[in-house]
Each structure stands twice: as C-alpha cells, then as structure tokens.
Amino acid sequence: MRARRAREEWEPEHLVKVLVVNQNPGVSAQLTSALIGEQDIELLEVRTPERAVRQLDDVGGFDLVLADADTAPTGGFALSRDIKARERMGQEVPPVVLLIARDQDKFLAKWSEADAFIIKPPDPFNLHSIIAAVVEGERVPDLPGVGSTGDLPEVLGVPEGTSGSPLGGAGY
C-alpha cells in the first residue's frame, strides 16, 4: 500500500458509521473540519466512554470507534480495553482508533489493544487514511503521527490480552 491514500481513492461499499468518543470541543472541531464533506462517513459523537458502551450495546452497527484517550472519567484507553475484552468473549465489535496527545501515549494505546492511533491534532489527510485502512482491515499507512499498535513492542513484557496482574482480571 502506498504511504498516503488519496481521499478520492477510497470508496467504501456502504456508509461508514464512526462512533466518536470525545468531550473536548476543540477536538470535536478538529474532527469535524477534518472529515467535513466526507459523504461516505457518518459521525455520531458521545461525551463519555460509558455512553459509547451504551451506544455499542443498544444501537450497534458501527464500523469504527474513534476515541479521545483523554476523555473522562475512564478514558479512551480503558474504553478500548473494554471493547477488546468483549471481542474476546465472542461479541462482534468495531475496531478502535485512539486520538492520543503525546508520542509516549502510543505504548498505552498498545496496552489498551487499540487497532491504531493518531496524535492530536489529527492531520485531515492522515485521519482519512487511517479510517480507510482500519475499516478495510488493511495495514495502517506509515504517516507522521499515525501508527498501528501491532507494530509496537510488548509493553513491559506483558503479552497482549492479559492484565499483567498476578491476580488476573480485566486489567483495569
């Protein structure tokens, strides 16, 4: 895959439903302006991870969860981890892309088992490219501020899908 997919090249087979989890008006404005005019993408925004879980349970049908890692009270990292735990229990869940504030947060994105991450503020072309790649199940493009958690080393030697706690549990 080329490093950057032109916006015009991606033509999804259906309307792509993206659940946005964010409570920062500035981030909302960045996402809206980045995706404005995208006729194939429908955004539904909720303010908390708890409401996101309710939307996934009650409404469903989302192709992607785009979560701000800094969302309170539990944050996008815990939301991603919860979604991936549901997947391990046999539920069908959408992939998760985290919006992170710092380059160092990519290791927390790895811990949370997110499918990919993008550093805030998102570049509109990079955001479009990462959405297209993750929704289509393709490799995340090698772009500045964008990455796949699968490309990162294990966090503190803890294998994926485990809590890292000697007592077991969900890990959060």
Q: What is the pLDDT of residues 64-86, one digit of tens each?
A: 999 999 998 889 999 999 999 99
pTM of the model: 0.82
Domain 13-151 grouped into CATH 3.20.20.140: no
Sort strands 64-68 and 116-119 into parallel, antiparallel or unpaired.
unpaired
pLDDT tens string for the chain (172 positions)? Answer: 333 444 456 677 789 999 999 999 999 999 988 887 777 899 999 999 999 999 999 999 999 999 999 998 889 999 999 999 999 999 999 999 999 999 889 889 999 999 999 999 999 989 999 999 999 999 988 888 888 876 656 655 555 555 544 444 444 4
Side chain identity, residue 47: R
Q: Where are the domains of the chain?
A: 13-151
Query: What is the distance of C-alpha 57 from the center of its chain?
Result: 17
Count of positions (residues) in the chain: 172
What are the tens digits of pLDDT across the range 88-110?
999 999 999 999 999 889 889 99
Q: What is the DSSP letter of 162?
A: S
- pLDDT value of residue 38: 78
- CA 21 – CA 74 distance, rounded (Å): 12
Place of tokens 């493009």: 141
